[in-house]
Amino acid sequence: MSSTELTLPKLGYGAANVGNLFRELTDDEAWSVLEAAWESGIRYYDTAPHYGLGVSERRLGAFLRTKPRDEFVVSTKAGRLLRPNPDHQPGGLDTANDFHVPDDLRREWDFSESGIHASLAESLERLGLDHIDLLYLHDPERHDLDLALAEAFPALEKLRSEGAVGAVGVGSMVSDALARSVREANLDIIMVAGRYTLLEQPAAAEVLPACDERGTGVVAASVFNSGLLAQSEPSRDGRYEYGRLPDELWHRLVRIADICRAHDVPLAAAAIQFPLRAASVRSVVVGGSRPDQLRQNAEYAALDIPGELWAELADEKLIPGGPHA
């Protein structure tokens, strides 16, 4: 484990939405979202070239350049380079990847040292910043995890040793890939997307123990499970990753919501605060495309949740037991 110590705020903003995830935002609308995050006390911002083919990085960078550099932490990701799309047609959009932006660029995997360097340099240019606090390798298992371990992670570690980035890690929604990356690379922080939430905790089996053993920090992302935990009254028709919500998870969701309601705790508040009960989890990153969502999430993050709620959830084996499990 690296000796790098990066302090992350407990609540962060995941900036995929300002890259026009699921729907188009104007520049002014995106700015209002970011302003609401800042006004709500959020000081950690996560982005990626993947988010809107660079739109998220450009918008986030324009906003953060109006703020004191020592008052915020920013992370972005490497592994996919943005290059001209020869198949682009006028009016073509990147909706195949859920981003409502022109598809005049395409993503090209590159785990080589030169590719990682290029990714960082291009992200810095889009952001308009001179330093990245945390650089993740983005979804390496979608390309070649063996190659990532052989080339990309050593390149990240070299950037860290040279001081080009403050800390390095990996972001993924695949528990096996996360656990292997923690064990075989020298990472500071990992981003666990949707695998350690109030609804389901597959990362508790191998990922979190590996992080505890290696001293690796965790950022929990996608903690609302595609929005299922964002509303106090769950919907059976809600989006779940790439398809229909399995019956087992639906029944778990209903019971969790019932318990939260009995303790007068908004489901979303419990969803935000649950991951932070694990010793290795440093921060929870949530998205949002409307200013009021950001303000509400900040309020939920600060809400006092009675220990009895966690105890009842643990008693029913809906979450791992123990005070910090």
What is the per-residue pLDDT across 132-148, written as a single tens digit (0 to 9) for each? 999 999 999 999 999 99
> What are the residues whose beta carbons fall under 8 Å from the beta carbon of 117, sequence distance 6 or more?
155, 159
* The pLDDT of residue 244: 76
- 86 to 31, 79, 83, 104: CA distances (angstroms): 31, 20, 9, 8
Mean pLDDT of the chain: 95
pLDDT in tens, 211-246: 999 999 999 999 999 889 998 888 877 667 656 788
- Please answer whether residues 131 and 172 qualify as being in contact, where contact means their C-beta atoms are separated by less than 8 angstroms: no
pLDDT surpasses 70 at 168 = yes
- In CATH terms, the superfamily for domain 11-227+266-304 is NADP-dependent oxidoreductase domain (3.20.20.100)
Domain definitions of the chain by residue range: 11-227+266-304
pLDDT surpasses 90 at 179 = yes
β-strand 105-109 against 132-138: which pairing, if any? unpaired
Catalytic residues: 51
Q: Write the Ramachandran bin of 91: left for phi over 0, alpha for psi from -120 to 50, otherwise beta.
A: left
pLDDT level of residue 8 (50, 70, 90 thresholds):
very high
pLDDT in tens, 67-77: 999 999 999 99
Q: What is the DSSP string of 145-208?
A: HHHIIIIIHHHHHHHHHTTSEEEEEEEES-HHHHHHHHHHS--SEEEEESSSSSS--GGGTTHH
Confidence (pTM): 0.95
Q: What gap in Å lies between CA 109 and CA 227, rounded to an integer?
A: 29
